[in-house]
A = this chain, B = another copy of it.
Amino acid sequence: MNKISDNRGSDRRSQLRERNREALVEATLDCVAELGIARSSVSEIIARAGLSRGMIHLHFETKDNLLKAAIERANEIYYDELAVLLRQAGPSPQETIDAVIRSDLSENVLNRRYISIWYAFRGEAREREVFRRLNDTRDERMRTIILEAFLPMLREQGTPDAELVARDATDGLIALLEGMWNDYLLHPDAFDRDQACRVAFRFIAGLLPDYFTFAGATHKVSAK
């Protein structure tokens, strides 16, 4: 009987196939990180992957699809790190905020390769809808996490207009972290991870003095 390849990845055949697909995505990310999107040609990518020209057409149809797969992969890296730190953090709102800040500034995402890739795609974001969507780490998912952490703290603290302030604090924190990434992009050598962390907490502590100091969340009861 003619079994149409079912791509389960169980047999050696499709394992090798999948590995080559991965190699293309990784080579693309390397290329984008080092040369930028404009200079990331098919020839350059396949040379780095050590594969043949035709592979891109076989796995992705077009170069644009390959770029799309690459930015999807970059997006995963970010959310994986965030998920890990959120799981490690305790349940209190201040610990959630603490985890968000530390994951954003962690070496797993805030490194030369990742930030180069990130801003390369962002530079092309205005025209390509997919790029814009996937490049926006600070999307609704992220916003909701932060907002729902700020709100109970502000309410308990008795801040007037807690809802409005919570939204402002959320947008401010997101913008601040984004700006830190940018600073890293332009001055990777001078960048000081601890200082960036301290700055973020200083700003937040101004709005939530009961919950934060410049050193991080207070009254930590972290389980782990």
Q: Which residues of A are at the interface with B, using a C-beta cutoff of 8 A?
A: 33-39, 116, 119-127, 132, 135-136, 138, 165, 168-169, 171-172, 174-180, 182-183, 185-186, 195-196, 198-200, 202-203, 205-207, 214
Contact = CB atoms under 8 A, between A and B. Distances in A.
Contact of A179 (B39, B126, B178, B195): B178
Q: Give how many copies assemble into the complex.
A: 2
A199 B186 contact: no
Contacts of A116: 126
B127 A35 contact: yes
Contacts of A207: 202-203, 206
Contacts of A203: 172, 176, 203, 206-207
A122 B171 contact: no
A126 B202 contact: no
19 contacts: A37-B38, A38-B38, A38-B124, A120-B126, A121-B123, A122-B123, A123-B123, A171-B195, A172-B200, A175-B175, A175-B177, A175-B196, A176-B203, A177-B179, A178-B182, A202-B206, A202-B207, A203-B207, A206-B206
Contact of A123 (B120, B127, B165): B120
A174 B202 CA distance: 14
